[in-house]
Amino acid sequence: MARAAIIGGGVIGGGWAARFLLNGWDVRVFDPDPEAQRKIGEVLDNARRSLPGLSDLPLPDEGTLSFHDDLAEAVEGAEWIQESVPERLDLKLKVYAQIQAACEEGAIIGSSTSGFKPSELQEGSDRPGQIVVTHPFNPVYLLPLIELVTTGANEAALIDRAKGLLSSLGLFPLHVKKEIDAHIADRFLEAVWREALWLVKDGIATTEEVDEAIRMGFGIRWAQMGLFETYRVAGGEAGMRHFMAQFGPALKWPWTKLMDVPEFTDELVDLIADQSDAQSGMHSIRELERIRDNNLVAMMRALKAQDWGAGAVLNAHDAGRKRDAMPDIETADLAQPILTLARAVPLDWTDYNGHMTESRYLDAFAGATDRFMEIIGCDADYIASGGSYFTAETHIRHLGECHAGARISVRTQMLLGQGKKLHLFHSMYEGEELIATCESFLLHVSLETRRPCAPSQEIEDSMARIAAAQSGLEYPQGAGSSIRKPVPMAE
């Protein structure tokens, strides 16, 4: 079993511990803070809840976590030692001396420092080549970027081993080959931070307005395409050269407090344009736009699920449109199957065959069920009061293909709505074509006891009203069916 030692168990150290532990490593922690065990335990609770959801495969069996009062004991036999002590160079150098006096010579010592250069951390060390910067981003157990910063003292074999170990943990080691204060990412963050402070100080924007400007716009673009590739697309078919020709002169304009910028020369344009070609030239602008759009849709839909940032804006927009587009019990034609869902198929609902994946049919039909529940009065307020419907059985028939961008609708017939029982039959259409059906049987339950019980009188009355209106409908084809037992092939 691989072993890691964590020196310093704060927010970052705890995140490192979680990343190693949940990837099957044994983890030893040294931190004199008497609250370290509690703090790391809380970080681990969050990591156990979230990290497994990033993978389509099960994570390895969790390693063993132990806490040690003696630093030498913690680093004994460790293959990887991660230092995350406070940002004081004198303290870090003292800790490295203690670590190297006790650890194996082949162990990698990584520092979480956000600012110090590795040459500063290696100063005075008997084995400087053992020490590298491995700067993470919080939460370490979710965000993949690790800035691996090295010097000439670090042998190529150690650097390759560091990259391999970090990659095996699901991390993205970005090798920074030329050291600089604050590495790469934090220099961007510092520049934005300084400009934001000026905007707030000068009364141009509030802290909330600054945050909205980032998370509603370029922050999402940067998350999936970075800086240069974003600007390459902004240049249109002419690419990076056109963008720089169009916006390069703005570097001399007083748009920002950060006016110490490189001279805008032909050589600089060529350098950046050539690097951009090497980075992204294998894709046309149209291809990059499609890649960008796919990524943006997926990320923003993820934000919708959390009702956060740009996702909250989309949810609010949907809610307003839903009131106008979707009938309620007073406006619906109850004598016909009721419209319970109308939408386009999102980009991230399609699978390797190019059509809507099986789980998304259930997702769509579940949305239709939720809407029917709202129609009969089982809405958010009712559920908050302690009652709801639980699905007991579902049967889906796939009758036709459905592709990304297709406009689909679901119409719902109530086969039974009485007492605690609710029996629904959903029909999904693309235009006039029936492409799938879903039969669902639900039970009304008390959320306090989690057991079936009768619904409110208002819900009973709504179901009786729909039952009377739909009494003349034929029993839908496919209702009550199941998967047929296969007929044995003739020998």
Share of the chain above pLDDT 90, in %: 62
Please indicate, yes or no, whether residues 267 and 335 belong to a single structural domain of this protein.
Answer: no
Domain holding 422, by residue range, is 327-469
Query: Is the separation of the CB atoms in 93 and 55 below 8 Å?
Result: no
CB atoms within 10 A of CB 312: 13
Q: Cα separations (Å) of 93 from 100, 126, 179?
A: 11, 12, 18
Pick the more confident residue, 240 or 172.
172
pLDDT at 491 over 60: no
Indicate the number of domains in the chain.
Answer: 3
Output the pLDDT for position 255.
62
Which of the four pLDDT bands, split at 50, 70 and 90, describes residue 237?
confident
Provide the mean pLDDT of the chain.
Answer: 91
Say which CATH number the domain at 15 has.
3.40.50.720
11 is in an annotated binding site: yes
- Is residue 217 a known part of a binding site? no
My answer on whether 240 and 381 are in the same domain is: no
Nearest CA-CA partner of 44 in 174, 109, 111, 139: 139
* DSSP-derived secondary structure for 410-430: EEEEEEEEETTEEEEEEEEEE
20 and 139 fall within a common domain? yes
Give the model's pLDDT for residue 490.
62
- Considering the domain architecture, whether residues 167 and 196 belong to the same structural domain is answered as no
Per DSSP (E only), the strands in 266-370 are 338-344
pLDDT value of position 334: 96
For residues 146 and 236, state if they share a domain. no
- Does residue 405 belong to any structural domain of this protein? yes
Residue 211, in any domain of the structure: yes
8 known ligand binder: yes
pLDDT at 228: 85
Q: Please report whether residue 346 resides in a domain.
A: yes
The pLDDT of 208-221, averaged and rounded, is: 89
Average pLDDT over residues 298-317: 85
The verdict on 16 and 65 lying in the same domain is: yes
Indicate the range of 126-135, 213-222, 421-430 predicted with least confidence.
213-222
Question: Does residue 396 sit in the same domain as residue 463?
Answer: yes
User: Residue 152, annotated ligand binder?
Assistant: no
- Provide the pLDDT for residue 275: 82
Q: What CATH number is attached to the domain comprising 421?
A: 3.10.129.10
Residue 136, preceding bond cis, omega within 30 degrees?
no
- For residue 20, being part of any structural domain is answered with yes
Same domain, residue pair 263 and 202 = yes
Among 236, 270, 290, the domain boundary falls at 290
281 is in an annotated binding site: no
Residue 429 within any structural domain of the chain:
yes
Whole-number pLDDT of residue 424? 98
Token pair of 240, please?
Answer: 């990076």
pLDDT of residue 64: 98
Average pLDDT over residues 224-238: 84
How many angstroms separate the Cα of 24 from the Cα of each of 1, 34, 59, 60, 158? 8, 26, 8, 5, 22
In a domain, 445, yes or no: yes
Q: Is the residue at 309 inside a domain?
A: no
Do the domain assignments include residue 203?
yes
214 labeled part of a ligand binding site: no
pLDDT digits (tens, 9 = 90+) for 448-482: 999 999 999 999 999 999 999 999 999 999 999 88
What pLDDT is attached to residue 227?
A: 85
Domain boundary among 236, 271, 290: 290
pLDDT digits (tens, 9 = 90+) for 397-448: 999 999 988 889 999 999 999 999 999 999 999 999 999 999 999 999 999 9
The span from the CA of 25 to the CA of 38, in Å, is: 20
- Helices 266-280 & 239-247 angle (0-180, nearest 10): 140
pLDDT digits (tens, 9 = 90+) for 359-384: 999 999 999 999 999 999 999 999 99
Domain co-membership, 47 together with 194: no
Q: Are residues 46 and 155 in the same domain?
A: yes
pLDDT above 80 for 323? no
Clarify whether residues 172 and 189 are in a common domain. no
- Could you tell me if 171 and 224 lie in one domain? no
Task: Examine the fold and report which residue of 176, 205, 233 is the final residue of a domain before the chain moves on.
Answer: 176
